[in-house]
Amino acid sequence: MWIPPSLGGDYERLLKALLNNPFLGGGGGGVPPRTHLDASSDPMLASIRVVTSLIGLVSLKEAASRLKESPAKKDLLGSINSSIAADIDDICPPWPWPGPPPWVLAIVSTLVFAANTVHEGGLRTAIQDVATQVLARSLETGQKGEGA
């Protein structure tokens, strides 16, 4: 089989090179380079994922609040509020004192930063409110966990 010189000119040499290329899953040995970000092993990436989810829910809530009054609107807003509350519960487990867990501080500061990048109005206020809820919930669970 003819192989162009730009690819090595030799089929067997090209095949060996491809099979030993770690980017192609070959047996080149060693640890392949990191090709993606893994939020499960990086707390900062995990907190960014949580912040993104919360901002998405707050944005959805803002859009839903502009719908005309109906049972569907009430159900949707209730569902969004439940999702926000569930996320806050997940973020704020009981934690030994002093202070809230480090990821809570990262999440709250990122939410406040994100809120301050948005023009004044309902969305900005809603993001700030969620940041306050996260911090308040963390303080409550910390105080409850203090005696445990």
User: Inter-axis angle of helices 43-65 and 122-146, to 10 degrees?
Assistant: 130
Q: Could you tell me which residue, 111 or 15, shows the higher pLDDT?
A: 111
- pLDDT, tens digit, 9 for 90 and up, residues 50-72: 889 999 999 999 999 998 999 99
Model pTM score:
0.64
Which pLDDT belongs to residue 75? Answer: 92
pLDDT tens readout for residues 6-54 = 666 677 777 777 777 666 655 555 555 555 545 555 666 677 888 899 9
Using DSSP's 3-state secondary structure scheme, residue 74 falls into helix
Residue 129 has pLDDT above 90, yes or no: yes
